[in-house]
Structure 1
Amino acid sequence: MKYMATYDLMETARNTNEWLGATARAMASYPVFALSANPIFQLTAAWGEVTERTFSRMVTKPDWGIRSIVGPDGTDHLVDITPVVERDFGNLIHFSVRRREKMARQILVVTPMSGHYATLLRPTVASLLPDADVYVTDWHNARDIPVSAGKFDVDDYVLYLVDFMRYLGPDTHVVAVCQPVPLTLAATAYLAGEDPAAQPRSLTLMGGPVDPDAAATEVTDFGRRVTMGQLEQWAIQRVGFKYKGAGRLVYPGLLQLAGFMSMNAERHGKAFADQVMRAARGETSDHDAHNRFYDEYLAVMDMTAEFYLSTVERIFKNREIARNDFTVAGKKVDFGAITSVAVKIVEGEKDDISAPGQCLAALKLLTNLPDDKKASHLEPGAGHYGIFAGKSWRLNIRPLVLSFIDANSGQPRKSPVKLAVTK
């Protein structure tokens, strides 16, 4: 079948490297080799350990790893992760804190569907949990979704967000990070036109490509240079026989990872070599800095072909969001319909993925939103990941976001009827 052989070839290469690593580690770890002073055995075992872990992580969904938080009473409170709305392509999950009263702040974190799992925002979620009830969009790996589940494109993504917002009710504050920023804005505009009572209280839009042409980056330049036909030919494959989604057209996670790695190949190569030397000296641990980073970075997921291609064509090439010419399920979405939802833009000064100006363009689209409902912040020295994780997020951005949420909370509003939880 077209494109299936290449998908299975990539998986075969990954599986073979994982096997080679495991074999080298096991062989070089035989006790008899400890009698030899030759360091080749320690280096071989170390190379095998790092290689096995590297290639096994590529097909493993990371755990959230948020077991508990310290509550206002100073004691540890266990955290349960519970799906509250379940769909074929993604769930709305709730980080439920035991023995804690309902918090005044209710936050929906909209995570990217751009190659990595929602757990990439683990630091963001963990830092918000002590001060809010947190809900997160948890997107599924397309390779595990049977073809019978149908398509999933940009329209479907927006409609999923609409359903999630309706479920949570109008006292929700939405925080969208990176790729979903323009689609979260579109979902809010859709609700403004179709179901105004279900709109959230506020939107915090962080480092997303609302107008990719506002500030060119390598990502936007690539979208301009490549035709849709070339992109479909180069990037799209069919899921192989190993997974439930066999036959589904996807943009494979392994192919995306190859692109990620090639952008900084020298740095990643040095990190791998350094980790091998540390392992040979017995200086590594399961959760050392290298493993914490690469366990997440290497864990990639497939995107449906229709979602990836429609994102490139509609958001980057045609700029439908930026031109206020976006439709969802055949209905025109007018960003001018947003008149009461407070919107805050957060950008990083050194963001080389969504450069400053791309996200800020959202405020220009909100022609009927009062100026006192608009806010923006440019974080000095912060790169793309720095705006939602790391020192800039912890010390500067997070307090600003929480203050913005509090300033736009007001009195509780009557919630619309909630959706039934579906499988």
Structure 2
Amino acid sequence: MRYMATYDLMETVRNTNQWLGATAKAFAAYPGISMVPNPVFQWMGAWGEVTERSFARMVAKPDWGIHSYTCEDGRDHIVNVEKVVERDFGDLIHFNVQGRPDTTRKVLLVAPMSGHYATLLRSTVISLLPDCEVYVTDWHNARDIPVSAGKFDVEDYTLYLVEFMRHLGPDTHVIAVCQPAPLTLAATAYLAEEDPSAQPSSLTLIGGPIDPDAAPTEVTDFGNRVTMGQLEEMMIQRVGFKYPGVGRQVYPGLLQLSSFMTMNAETHGKAFMDQIHRATRGEARDNDRHNRFYDEYLAVMDMPAEFYLSTVERVFKNLEIAQNKFVVNGKKVDIGKITDVAVKTVEGAKDDISAPGQCVAALRLCTGLPEELKASHLEPGAGHYGIFAGKSWRSNIRPLVLEFIDANNGRHKPAAAAE
């Protein structure tokens, strides 16, 4: 019970600010106020509008917002988001484009579990839909998962990926973005030993910390500076009484968000003041640039404490993936056992989260893989976000990834097709 009070205090502060924003907005909207030509009331209403929206987004899961897609036939086709595999901590979802001709590219997009929802990859999904059958790992907010569901650490995460890959079959092309890259590599190696016929045809790792020590950043420096005891004391709390996961130990999304905002307080402060001024002038729109960005950025989710702590300890501190010492269910996972899965790494030259060198280390670990099945790409001038969702992704990286997929399409065929 020690940290429930802290968790509930954060939620109380958030809830209070949302209420204050709604109150200011409502007060400024009274007809009688319009009789007083004072710009203070306009500013109050604008402040309330921006404040209410911002604090409300912190506890709301964003919608994918992908409802239809215009195919080559010139018609709009309905896009249904369907759950293919449902599990306690995450689902495998499919973006089913109704009435579209079958495509030979089947892609599993592995989304990060790093404090934001899988919808962070919305633009990535949209860019792949024209050419691929897209599946995504949709991780759940830990505050909504009852304690009775048990723990969820890096080994459980890896086994979830193994299950998803098995379900989709060997004609799948896996793309892992950022945080899940090391565990996706481990899941592929796990299948190479335990169930070779279920291995994907290709694996693309984008900006992931395979070897965090290969190119240190502020993220890796922080992980090395603090002890696990300090990390647990500072970051871990128990979910309060408001949510189904009451009592579960988590790394709260609100705590992580406050850290992010503090790191760039001046930039965020200016962005919100500018938005208030736009709202005062009547220029703010529901889907303007500010709201599109912050609706996603502020929508945070809690991570299971076991997952957060084991990620820091085993991936960043002990370098179990980088040194090929990772263990799942008591069994050592040998990355060198990957011999028939094409592997490509993508890095951004200006990535300050997973710096160049961290991700390409995966190719060094794939000692059993022929050189012709290895590929790498370093995108000049690209930061972390740009390599999977920005201009660099759309203009340069996406075509290269699709080319890599096509080059390895049909490498592994499902059992039924092979017969």
TM-score range, shorter chain: over 0.9
- Give 1:14-413 correspondences, 5 Å limit: 14-410=14-410, 413=413
Runs of 5+ in structure 1 lacking a partner? Answer: 418-423
> What amino acid maps onto 1:396 in structure 2?
N
Q: Equivalents in 2 of 1:267, 1:325: separation in Å?
A: 41
CA–CA distance in structure 1, aligned partners of residues 415 and 150 of structure 2: 31
Contact 1:21 1:48 in 2 (8 A): yes
Q: Distance in 2 between matches of 1:74 and 1:344?
A: 34
> Which residue does 1:420 correspond to in 2?
none
- TM-score normalised by the chain length of structure 2: 0.98
Write the deviation string for residues 208-266 of structure 1: whole angstroms up to 9, x where unpaired: 00000000100000000000000000000000000000000000000010111112110
Q: Number of paired residues?
A: 417
CA 1:171/1:299 → structure 2, altered by over 3 Å: closer, same or farther?
same
Please list the CA deviations of residues 323-375 of structure 1 after superposition, one character each: whole Å capped at 9, or x if unmatched: 00000111110011000100010000100000000001100000110111000
Q: Percent identity?
A: 75
Compute the displacement of 1:385 (Å).
0.2
What letter is aligned with 1:362? A
The CA deviation at 1:416 is 8.0
Q: For residues 349 and 114 of structure 2, what CA distance do their matches in structure 1 show?
A: 22
Distance 1:37 1:216 in 2: 56
SS in 2 for 1:93: strand
Please give the per-residue CA displacement for 1:122-168, whole angstroms capped at 9, x wherever unaligned. 00001100101000000000000000000000000000000000000
Contact 1:169–1:198 under 8 Å retained in 2: yes
For 1:350 and 1:178, the matched residues in 2 are separated by 14
Partner of 1:49: helix, strand, or coil?
A: helix
Q: Quickly say closer, same or farther: Cα 1:177–1:416, change in 2 above 3 A.
A: farther
CA distance in 1, matches of 2:354, 2:380: 15
What residue ranges of structure 2 are gaps of 5+ in the alignment? none
State the Cα deviation string for residues 84-112 of structure 1 (Å, max 9, x = none). 00000000000000001321000000000
Q: Following TM superposition, by how much is the alpha carbon of 1:415 offset from its aligned partner in structure 2, in angstroms? A: 3.8
3-state SS in 1 of match to 2:58: helix
SS in 2 for 1:99: coil
Contact 1:67–1:79 (CA under 8 A) maintained in structure 2: yes
Q: How far apart, in 2, do the equivalents of 1:194 and 1:273 lie?
A: 55
Note the C-alpha offset of 1:34: 1.3
Amino acid at match of 2:297: Y
Give 1:412 shift. 5.7
CA displacement 1:286-328 (0-9 Å, x = unmatched):
1000000000000000000000000000000000000000001
Question: Residues of 2 paired with 1:184 and 1:245: CA distance?
Answer: 27
TM-score by length of 1: 0.98
Task: Please state how far the C-alpha of 1:32 moved relative to its aligned partner.
Answer: 1.4
Aligned equivalents of 2:269, 2:291: Cα separation in 1: 14
CA deviation vs aligned residue, 1:169-217 (integer Å, no higher than 9, x gap): 0000000000000000000000001000000000000000000000010
Q: Is the 8 A contact 2:201 2:411 kept in 1?
A: no
How big is the shift at 1:8? 0.2
SS in 2 for 1:84: strand
Separation in 2 of the partners of 1:262 and 1:351?
Answer: 20
1:411 deviation in Å? Answer: 5.6
Task: Classify the secondary structure of the residue corresponding to 2:301.
Answer: coil
Cα distance 1:384–1:411, how it changes in 2: closer, same or farther (>3 A)? closer
Q: How many Å apart are 1:390 and its aligned residue? A: 1.6
TM superposition outliers: structure 1 runs of 4+ over 4 Å: none
Q: Is 1:143–1:246's contact at 8 Å kept on the other side of the alignment? A: yes
After superposition, the CA RMSD in angstroms is 1.0
CA distance in 2, matches of 1:165, 1:415: 14
Code of the residue aligned with 1:194 in structure 2: it is: E
